[in-house]
Copies of this chain bind each other. A is one copy, B any other.
Amino acid sequence: MPAKIITISRQFGSGGRSIAKAVAERLGYDYFDKEIIDNVAVETGFSKDFVAKKGEEAPGKSVFSYGFETMGVPGIMNGMTMHDYLWTIQRQIICKIADSGKPCVIVGRSADYILRDREGVLNVYISADMEFRKDRLVRLYGDSEQKPEKRLADKDKKRAANHKHFTDLQWGYAPNYDLCLNSSSLGIDTCVDIICSVAAKD
């Protein structure tokens, strides 16, 4: 059956978000990316920046950070760490989006794992080579005090660690997805074409 939900995981700077937007537009699907962070922020009362930052960190690095985080909002978080609490809210929001039954594209946030037991979900991973990602990073996100390679490597590492922590799966390992596309070798437009064509299949 045609995919009702398309999840798109992506390396930072790979153009995954542009691909996701173009796919949603072409198929007439709803699009969820930062909207999920906005919803988590509303549900929890934390700022969007805080939710976005925590959502890409590797949690539970030390006993100290665990203790410190748990102290934050006793009662509401019910003994959970900050990361676990935010994950739980985020998970609920993603399940609610899926429950609505409206076709959509969801970017990141381990939605592939969260929706793993549902029918009609197409899980896509977008990667790209370092030169392509560096170029996009500098062009689209401007300069930074860090070298682009360092920023990209840091982001990759954090996303992988966060995904591993909550799903016990390796981020970017092909067998965990339906379709993995390299946008620097295939081109952004070809990636959009492939995803739309696969999603429309019976």
Contacts and interface: CB of A to CB of B under 8 A. Distances in A.
Looking at chain A's contact residues, the main secondary structure is: mixed
A119 to B, nearest CB: 11
Interface in A140-184: 170, 172-175, 177-182
Q: Number of copies of this chain in the oligomer?
A: 2
Contacts of A181: 178-180
Interface residues of A, number: 25
A174 B180 contact: yes
A190 interface: yes
Given A127-B175, A174-B173, A175-B172, A190 B201 contact: yes
A179 B186 contact: yes
Contacts of A201: 187, 190
